[in-house]
Chains A and B, each alone.
Chain A
Amino acid sequence: MQTAATPPAAGYADREPTKPPDWHQLVVWDVFFNALTTGLFLVAAVGELALPEVFGPVAVWAYPAAFVLLLVDLSLLVLDLGDPLRFHHMLRVFKLSSPMSLGTWCLTAYSLPLTLLVAIDIGTVVGLVPGDSDAVWWVRRVLLIAGLPVAFGSAAYKGVLFSTSAQPGWRDSRWLGGYHTSSAVVFGCAELLVLSVLTGHDRAAALLRPALGLLLVLGLIPLGLLLGELRPELTRRYTRDDLFRGVALSVGGGVLIPLLALAAVGTNPFAVVLTAVLVLTGGWVIRHLIVMLPHQAPLVR
């Protein structure tokens, strides 16, 4: 246990008093999948509720996808615990002061209508549930309406969870929640667009393309505000090259190129998938930069 020569530091003044939680890649992916599942559900549900005839057929694919993504997300959440067998302790109290408590309850509440929706979808496919009955239609509507606020809550808590902490960077990012929620909707839009193109629902795709474009532009507002807030800590902890790569991937690759692509390439499935991948990658990169920020030791200048 004896160490080789370590460069000793004198005193404590140069040290960050806080300690980063040992949240690493698992949490980056958790934040990412959180946006994927909640965004997909939100966009599909809004679409189905607003224009059932257009989005209904795509949404049938969207809910199982959101369900799978939710399962992945929940697994990541559980695995990230120090004691995964105690995940259910999260439901021991409902605590407004704790975004994690609120979020867990939202996720739990969100998982219920989603599960039922998926069950109905699967039931319809295998013929157990009559797909065209009024009762089913009404049940779906109720489930969608019930799911919307909790799915929204599930998306909205995640950024606040980080921003209400004492960690360098996180504590300064007033727009982290804003960015995450808006980015979740962007993700959802991109995902549904891909689903529409792949399943050949051109009307839905035709609506989702301009929507995605608009959302990408809108999303630049919280993203810009967030990066502005984070700039001191980002530049303190990441090298110029790292930051350049990160911003290029997230803003250039995640917003600008998709915008151009959406305008230029139209409905080519391959191009749409590629665009969506770019959008998601950009979002992942931002999340990675932020989640890992406190772990990054300040650079010696």
Chain B
Amino acid sequence: MTSREAQVVSTPQSADPPRPRGRLAEVVARLTYPFRRGAAPAKQPATGFYTDTTVCIGCKACEVACKQWNQLPADGFNWSGNSYDNTGELSASSLRHVKFIEQFADVLPPPPSPNGRMSLDVLPAEPPPANRWLMMSDVCKHCAAAPCQQACPTGAILYNEFANVYIQRDICNGCAYCVAACPFGVITRSHFDGHTHKCTLCYDRQKDGLVPACAKACPTASIQFGPVEELRERARQRVEELHSRAVPGAYLYGDSPTETYTELNSFYLLVDRPATYGLPEAPFNPWIHMTGDYVRAVLSGLGAMGGLLAVFLVMGQ
């Protein structure tokens, strides 16, 4: 009984093709590289994450496991004061981000506030059933129709065979349009290499049949990885179970498509409204407007040109 982790080492590692020799060959190789194509692998069942925030202990093992596996840089020692969240946000160097939300009722009568700012309390949408400290490990949502993927002008962002949204680091040129496109604020551009980075869903590990580093490390199975269909089923059962255990506020975020957005292949079980967790209440795919915007742009332009032509033709004769 050996683990996949022990078996993988027996797969031989391939080698890089020989590097071009000489300046000119190197320049030519650079110029032609983006136009070379690799063979697209055969499609596999879609995989993703199911993050059950009700069992998250906020340990941040996911963050460190991600940094370790992907060898990401530490990105600054800044005490935020926002509960135990000193990561602050998802970025090119923090592909996982654990959020902390403190919701506590007054124990003793509320004290006068020295200057208006008080403790870390975040008022819940509705009075919480008890004092609680919500924790949630945030990550790329791997949207079924991802705005970042649609935006990417180089084709660096693609859907790999597992239907994960993946940024090809050898292609990305750092235009940052994906940053603008993401409704969840997942992607940023790294100031180290100028490229954008986000969760790869450990594409390299999946290729070898391994679970992504964060899901593997998670001590309480708050982050679960697997075929999305299975995950959705499991998540829906969990919601029912929670409802039966007097957690009526539990619901799934992103497990199914809405009017304005597709389903997320990385979805969440939450117990407060999305905004409490820093998620958009109703994510919106900006491409819904694209055709109309083009039409308005073209019409305005044509109108102006028409006016111009009219003046020329009428007055120029």
Check A-B contact in the complex, CB < 8 A: yes
Contact B300 A182 (CB under 8 A): yes
Distance (whole angstroms) from the CB of B51 to the closest CB of chain A = 15
B316:A207 contact, CB within 8 angstroms: yes
Which residue of A is nearest B76, CB measured?
A1
Per-residue B-contact encoding for A181-207, CB less than 8 Å = 1, 0 else:
110111001000000000000000011
Interfacial residues of chain A within 58-86, with CB under 8 A of chain B in the complex? 80-86
Of B182, B279, B293, chain A has the most CB atoms within 10 Å of the CB of B293
CB distance from A185 to the nearest CB of B (A): 4
> Which of B4-12, B40-48, B79-87, B217-225 lies at the interface with chain A?
B79-87
The answer, yes or no, to whether A267 is at the interface (CB within 8 Å) is no
Segment among A40-48, A124-132, A232-240 that sits at the interface with chain B: A40-48
Tell me whether B29 is interfacial, beta carbon within 8 Å. Answer: no
Q: Indicate whether B28 reaches chain A with its CB closer than 8 angstroms.
A: no
Interface assignment of A13: CB less than 8 Å from any CB of chain B: yes
By a CB distance below 8 angstroms, the chain B residues around A174 are 289, 292-293, 296
Residue from A23, A164, A181 in contact with B286 in the complex, judged by beta carbons closer than 8 Å: A164
Contact (A171, B284) CB under 8 Å given A19-B188, A93-B154, A207-B315: yes
Closest residue to A47 on the B side, CB-wise? B312
CB of A279, distance to nearest CB on chain B (Å): 13
A170 in the interface (beta carbon within 8 A): yes
Decide if A100 touches B175 in the complex (CB within 8 Å).
yes
Any chain B CB within 8 A of the CB of A87? yes
Indicate which residue in A87, A164, A206 contacts B287 across the interface (CB closer than 8 Å).
Answer: A164
Question: A82-B193, A95-B153, A156-B297 are contacts. A214–B78 as well, Cβ < 8 Å?
Answer: no
From B52-60, B117-125, B199-207, B244-252, the one touching the partner chain is B117-125
Chain B residue at minimal CB-CB distance from A23: B176
Within 8 Å of chain B (Cβ to Cβ): is A299? no
Q: Which residues of chain A from 131 to 179 have any CB-CB distance to chain B below 8 Å in the complex?
A: 152, 155-157, 159-167, 170-171, 174-179
B127 to chain A, nearest CB (A): 16
Segment among A2-10, A112-120, A251-259 that sits at the interface with chain B: A2-10
| Chain A residues within CB distance 8 Å of chain B | 1-3, 6-13, 15-23, 42-43, 46-47, 50-51, 54, 80-93, 95, 97-101, 104, 152, 155-157, 159-167, 170-171, 174-182, 184-186, 189, 206-207, 210-211, 214-215, 218-219, 221-222, 294
CB distance from A290 to the nearest CB of B (A): 13
B residues 282-317 with Cβ under 8 Å of A? 284, 286-287, 289-290, 292-294, 296-301, 303-305, 307-309, 311-313, 315-316
* A164 engages B293 (CB within 8 Å): yes
23 A-B pairs with CB atoms under 8 Å apart are A11-B102, A12-B101, A13-B278, A17-B184, A22-B176, A22-B188, A46-B308, A54-B312, A82-B175, A82-B194, A97-B150, A97-B290, A152-B298, A160-B293, A164-B286, A164-B293, A165-B147, A165-B151, A166-B180, A177-B294, A186-B304, A214-B307, A214-B311
With A12-B278, A22-B176, A160-B293 known as contacts, the answer to whether A104 contacts B153 (CB < 8 A) is yes
